[in-house]
C-alpha cells in the first residue's frame, strides 16, 4: 500500500541542529508533495511559527495540513484555516499555574493562538525566537473567560523540570496530556490532545488508512503519532521509547534522516 501522508516532527527530526532543512531533505519532500503525497508538519509550534517552513517546502502551493500545538489544532497550509481544535479552559490553566507558582516554575501559555507570559523567562524567549513571535505580558487570571487555551507550558531549566515532574499531582495525568516536547518544555494539553489523535482525525477527514501513513519523530511527544501510523520512523537521535516501536530507524537529523527515508519508502530510490 502506497504512502499518502508523511507526518513529520520539526525540531530534532526535520530540522538539523542549526534549525535548518537540509537541501537533500527539502528536495525529497518537495518531490513527494509534487507526486500528491500530503506533507504534514507536526509540532508543538503555533501555525504562525510554521509559516516560514511551510513556504520553504512549498506546502502553500497545494492543499496540505499542519498539526499545531502538539495536536491541539490542525490548519490548512494555504489559507491557514483551522479544521480541528482541542483546547484547555482558563480554569484548567489556572489550576496548573497554581502548582507552578508554588514550586517557582516559570511558565507560558498559548491563548487564542498567541503566546502569553506573566513574567519574562529565559526559555520563553527561546519559544519566541524559534517561532518568530512576540511574548505578550498578562496576568493569566485577567484573560477573558471565553478564551481558548491551546496549551500551557512549564518553561524552565531542564534539571528543575526533571525534578518537578514526579511531584505533579496524579490527577494532572488523569485530566491532561502531560508531555515533554524538549528538556526545558513540559506541556499540558487537553486530555484528548496529542499528535496521534490529530493525525487520526486528519486521516478520517481525508479518508486515508493508517497503513498509508508514515510518521517520523524523535521525542516523547511524537510517540502517539508513530503509534498510529503504519510506517513508524524514529530518528537515529530519537528517544529510546520511540525506537522500541519503530518499524525503521533512519539517520539522524544532522545526516538527512528524513530525506533518506522519504527517498527509500516514498520515492523508491535506492
Active site residues: 9
Task: Provide the CA 2 distance to its chain's centre, in angstroms.
Answer: 25
Q: C-alpha grid cell for residue 63?
A: 492543499
159: how many CB neighbours lie within 10 A of its CB?
Answer: 10
Contact 104, 142 (CB under 8 A): no
199: how many CB neighbours lie within 10 A of its CB?
Answer: 28
Contact 65, 7 (CB under 8 A): no
Q: How many residues in the chain?
A: 270
Give the span between the Cα atoms of 165 and 255, in whole angstroms. 32
194: how many CB neighbours lie within 10 A of its CB?
Answer: 25
Amino acid at each position: 500500500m502506497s504512502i499518502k501522508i508523511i507526518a513529520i516532527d520539526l525540531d530534532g527530526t526535520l530540522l538539523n541542529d542549526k534549525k535548518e532543512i537540509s537541501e537533500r531533505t527539502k528536495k525529497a519532500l518537495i518531490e513527494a508533495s509534487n507526486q500528491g503525497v500530503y506533507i504534514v508538519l507536526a509540532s508543538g509550534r503555533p501555525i504562525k511559527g510554521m509559516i516560514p517552513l511551510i513556504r520553504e517546502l512549498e506546502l502553500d502551493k497545494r492543499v496540505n495540513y499542519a498539526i499545531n500545538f502538539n495536536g491541539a489544532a490542525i490548519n490548512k497550509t494555504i489559507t491557514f484555516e483551522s479544521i480541528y481544535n482541542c483546547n484547555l479552559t482558563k480554569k484548567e490553566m489556572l489550576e496548573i499555574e497554581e502548582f507552578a507558582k508554588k514550586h517557582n516554575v516559570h511558565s507560558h501559555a498559548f491563548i487564542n493562538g498567541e503566546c502569553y507570559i506573566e513574567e519574562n523567562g529565559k526559555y520563553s524567549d527561546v519559544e519566541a525566537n524559534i517561532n518568530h513571535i512576540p511574548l505578550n505580558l498578562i496576568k493569566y487570571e485577567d484573560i477573558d473567560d471565553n478564551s481558548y487555551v491551546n496549551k500551557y507550558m512549564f518553561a524552565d531549566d531542564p534539571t528543575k523540570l526533571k525534578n518537578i515532574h514526579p511531584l505533579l499531582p496524579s490527577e494532572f495525568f488523569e485530566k491532561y496530556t502531560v508531555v515533554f516536547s524538549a528538556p526545558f518544555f513540559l506541556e499540558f494539553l487537553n486530555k484528548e490532545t496529542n499528535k496521534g489523535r490529530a493525525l487520526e482525525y486528519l486521516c478520517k477527514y481525508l479518508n486515508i488508512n493508517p497503513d498509508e501513513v508514515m510518521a517520523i519523530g524523535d521525542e516523547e511527544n511524537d510517540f502517539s503519532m508513530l503509534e498510529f501510523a503504519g510506517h513508524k520512523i524514529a530518528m537515529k537521535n530519537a528517544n529510546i521509547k520511540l525506537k522500541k516501536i519503530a518499524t525503521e530507524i533512519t539517520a539522524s537529523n544532522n545526516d538527512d534522516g528524513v530525506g533518506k527515508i522519504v527517498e527509500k519508502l516514498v520515492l523508491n530510490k535506492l
